Chain A
Amino acid sequence: MTDYILNLLTLIIIMSMITLCLNVIIGYIGYLHLGLVGIWAVGSYAYALMAVHGFPFFVAMLGGGIFAGAAGLLLGLPTLRLKSHYFGIASLGLMYIVYSLLLNLTDLTRGPLGIPGILRPTLFGISFSGPAMYFVLTLAVSLVVGFLLYRILKSPFGKILETIREDEIAAKALGKNTYAYKLQAFVLSSFFVGIISALSASYFQYISPTGFQVEQLIFFLAALMVGGAGSFWGGIVGAFVLLTIQELTRFIPLTPNAVGPVRTMIYALLLIFVMLYKPDGLMGKKMKVYQR
């Protein structure tokens, strides 16, 4: 039972942190980031491949961050000049492109077979493979990432990101190079998704292309909207709520094949309902972007 709760808490922390990274883009600069899962996939594969090839944990983790950040840079450079919803479409493209690459670059990614045997690390002679120790490791890394993002979002830099969400044209007219801010925020968000990818990949100990598809995107979008975009705690609360609901669905007697679609249905309904009736979410502000 304790193991079960520890595992669940670890997963909640991991998913909260990824939702937080999504929040940086959707909630703060107001850009509809639909490429999150693609970035997550790049980070996860980068970490997993480095880990199974014997790189030390933190090096592989940094590798995940750098590759994910680079993917973010590649996507953001041309597309962050577009308006939010066009950016949304273009960024969704990243998910498809990454998915196709993962399936087809079989020499590197083993294609649909995925990468098994991603071990949890042993650091300073201590094994972090048990639920308790892995929870500690996840918490420690997440606290660092969370603290850094908190500082950044609450800083003047974060304020400028908010001005972009509120009115990008006005921000430009005040002399702000909004494109540069957007790009920095996007690369930053992608980098941290990559860092967290190390935690998620070694949590599941196995990754495959099917784990990086629309279902996952719906989860993160719903989590962010339920929690409230634009509030630092929004994504974190949302991921907590959604995963709790997901655990409760275990009590519904379902055939194994029905579990996935039923979950997706729940997330989708939540997403629709929240957007229609409570677009500021549980924690969010009443923001023009989502209200008008």
Chain B
Amino acid sequence: MNVLQVQNLHKSFGGIHAIDHCSFSVEENSITGLIGPNGAGKTTMFDLINGLLTPDEGHVLIKNQNVTGWPTYKRARLGLSRTFQAIRVFPELTALENIVVAFKGHPSKLYQAFVPLKKKNRDLEKRAMEYMETVGIADKAHLRAGDLSYGQQKLLEIARCMATDADIFLLDEPAAGVNPTLLNTIKQLILKLHQQGKTLLIVEHNMPFLMSIAHKIIVMNFGKELAIGSPEEIQNNPRVLEAYLGKKREE
């Protein structure tokens, strides 16, 4: 089953077609890679999928539900979560609080300021600690998130997505700028999420990393899907090579 479908999506900014009638789908419990040269529209695609941008044309379907025009938060509640290319943790909150606020059961209704929550909060913090342990930064739980290292913030961001109970993860360059040890940690984390039955769509420039985990690769160029196939097929596709090496610009 396809849990995520992009149908004929189009978005232009002042005459430039950032996304040009692009279509693809992502199967349930798969690891799908989304690649393409810089400026191909990958992050714009993520913004359209999670609703930060509204498309000019076309549809986004999450779990066969047409969510085009839905606000971001509603899509998140449907089980879609996302990390960002430029990390977006809440720097003033502690690492632990970053995860606690992500829980669906976070008692953040206004009236709940006036009901006893001690026990509930303790439970949430305990659960949050489990996520911190899963990603391996439990010892940093009470530090300001902004004081964590770059890599730790990346892990925190993934843990925060997990805490939302999401089953679709959009990861925007999880391997960018991380050292080999951390890269391995992130890889194991992705494989673990896959084992738990989650669906992952990953934008990545680190090809060896992506090819080693992805089941399917979608190549985008000039805002369009250029090729879709298994990692082997993509690696041997002449059009993809051309797009990356920029031999000839095709219109």
Task: Please report A residues at the B interface, Cβ cutoff 8 Å.
Answer: 151-152, 154-160, 162-163, 165-167, 169-178, 181, 184, 188, 230, 285, 287-288
Contact = CB atoms under 8 A, between A and B. Distances in A.
- Interface SS, B side: loop
Contacts of A287: 92
Contacts of A171: 90, 101
Question: Which of B91, B109, B110 counts the most chain A CB atoms within 10 A?
Answer: B110
A167 B74 CA distance: 18
Interface of B: 50-52, 71-74, 76-77, 81-82, 84, 88-93, 97, 100-102, 104, 106-110, 112-114, 117, 121, 146, 160, 164
Contacts of B109: 157
Given A156-B117, A167-B90, 11 more contacts: A156-B100, A156-B107, A158-B113, A166-B92, A167-B88, A171-B90, A172-B51, A173-B72, A174-B81, A175-B73, A287-B92
Nearest to A179: B71
Given A163-B93, A170-B84, A155 B76 contact: no
B107 A175 contact: no
A287 B90 CA distance: 11
A230 B114 CA distance: 21
7 contacts: A157-B108, A157-B109, A159-B100, A165-B92, A166-B90, A173-B82, A175-B164
Nearest to B88: A170
A172 B70 CA distance: 12
Ranked 9 nearest A-B pairs via Cβ = A155-B113, A175-B76, A166-B90, A170-B88, A156-B108, A172-B72, A152-B113, A175-B77, A160-B108
Contacts of A151: 113-114
A31 to B, nearest CB: 16
Nearest to B51: A172
A159 B93 contact: yes
Nearest to A174: B102
B90 A170 contact: yes
A241 B20 CA distance: 58
A174 B108 CA distance: 13
Given A152-B113, A156-B106, A288-B146, A166 B84 contact: no
B102 A157 contact: no
Contacts of B88: 167, 169-170, 173
A111 to B, nearest CB: 38
Contacts of B146: 288
Contacts of B164: 174-175
A178 B106 CA distance: 14
A183 to B, nearest CB: 11
Contacts of A157: 108-110, 112-113
Contacts of A154: 113
B160 A174 contact: yes
A157 B106 CA distance: 9
A172 B113 CA distance: 21
A172 B77 contact: no
A285 B100 CA distance: 21
B117 to A, nearest CB: 7
Contact of A152 (B97, B104, B110): B110
